[in-house]
Amino acid sequence: MLSWPRQDTTSCSLKTSMCDCSTLGSRLEIACLFHADVPALESDHETRLDTMSDPWLSIPLADYEGHMGADNVQQLSALSGLFKRALDVCLPDSVAILGIAGGNGLEHANPATIKRIVGLDINPGYLDEVRRRFVTHPNLELHCVDLSHEKLRVAPVALVHAALFFEHAGLGRALDNALSLVTRGGTLSVVLQLPGRDQQNVTTTSYPSMQTLARNFSLVDVPRFRALLEKQGFRLLNEELRPMPTGKMLWLGIFSASPLGPE
Ligand SMILES: C[S@@+](CC[C@H](N)C(=O)[O-])C[C@H]1O[C@@H](n2cnc3c(N)ncnc32)[C@H](O)[C@@H]1O
């Protein structure tokens, strides 16, 4: 059994603890970063403000996956396919997935050729489930971290993949963390939701818990996102549009980091 530290509401220091998952055969270290209090924040209005009440901490994985697989959403398989596409284009020897949820698409990451597979999420229960589902991936490294608020200290990888992540986590600290995780000359692949006809960002399904996400959800403007990345030395290599049967449209952009940039 994985044991996760509880959030300490009395202290305002950053807690780091390593959990030893010895029951899983190979030693798995899961770094759990928790903030007990919201720290002094940057003035950047896009940095998410409410760490302690992040709605993702209250959404059961079954609700998330049920919602994303519902007939009027149908995004789980599309996201899995876009992750596979990013792997096929980039052929990385190490990969990180920001907002990994239950590990959708992880079956496409071949542990025989990808030597490090890193999953990050704010919800520790999701990571427990990823570990349970992917015992086939001995080189899986899972980090429970609030990427909107904590500064990530994880060794960089060749491909960072973030699918429908920045809409929830914002473009402040979360984007800095994403870029810092890309190794020199590596790639960042991003899936963004484009504005739909009905303008409903979180579709109504039989999972009402999902509606709590609406208050922290903002569409990300693709040209603005590209411009932000270009300023940071990331060049767009490849882009694709994936229309959903529901009328929504997903955009996949693959960016390469400068080979001369920081590692
Ligand atoms: C829409 S889901 C991502 C989709 C997922 N990649 C897939 O293919 O199904 C967003 C994920 O990001 C995680 N998340 C949201 N805000 C986060 C944050 N600030 N830090 C880390 N993870 C976050 C959520 O817990 C959730 O698992």
> Token pair of 213, please?
């996400």
Task: Average the pLDDT over each of 14-18, 56-60, 136-140 and give the range with the smallest value.
Answer: 14-18
Mutation test residue for ligand 1: of 74, 168, 210, 215, the one with most atoms within 8 Å of CB: 168
Q: How confident is the model at residue 149 (pLDDT cuts 50, 70, 90)?
A: very high
What is the Cα–Cα distance from 234 to 229, expressed in whole angstroms? 5
Distance 263 CA to ligand 1 centre (A): 25
User: How many Cα atoms within 13 Å fall on the side-chain side of residue 228?
Assistant: 12
Distance 210 CA to ligand 1 centre (A): 13
CB 118 within 8 A of CB 131: no
Task: Average the pLDDT over each of 61-70, 123-132, 191-200, 231-240 and give the range with the smallest value.
Answer: 191-200
CB 182 within 8 A of CB 188: yes
Question: Ligand 1, atom 14: nearest CA belongs to which residue?
Answer: 99
Mutation test residue for ligand 1: of 80, 122, 177, 193, the one with most atoms within 8 Å of CB: 122
pLDDT at 35 over 60: no
> Token pair of 171, please?
């473009």
What is the Cα–Cα distance from 257 to 238, expressed in whole angstroms? 13
pLDDT at 119 over 50: yes
Task: Average the pLDDT over each of 52-61, 105-114, 123-132, 206-215 and give the range with the smallest value.
Answer: 206-215
Q: How confident is the model at residue 30 (pLDDT cuts 50, 70, 90)?
A: very low
Which carries the bigger pLDDT value, residue 166 or residue 70? 166
Ligand 1 binding pocket (C-beta < 6 A) is 56, 68, 79, 99, 101, 104-105, 121-123, 126, 146-148, 163-165, 168-169, 174
CB 251 within 8 A of CB 222: yes
Question: Ligand 1, atom 27: nearest CA belongs to which residue?
Answer: 101
Provide the CATH number for the domain formed by 30-36+54-257 in this structure: 3.40.50.150
Distance 260 CA to ligand 1 centre (A): 30
pLDDT at 132 over 90: yes
Atom of ligand 1 nearest to the CA of 216: 16
37-73: pLDDT as tens digits: 222 233 333 555 554 589 999 999 999 998 887 777 7
Atom of ligand 1 nearest to the CA of 148: 19
Which carries the bigger pLDDT value, residue 6 or residue 172? 172
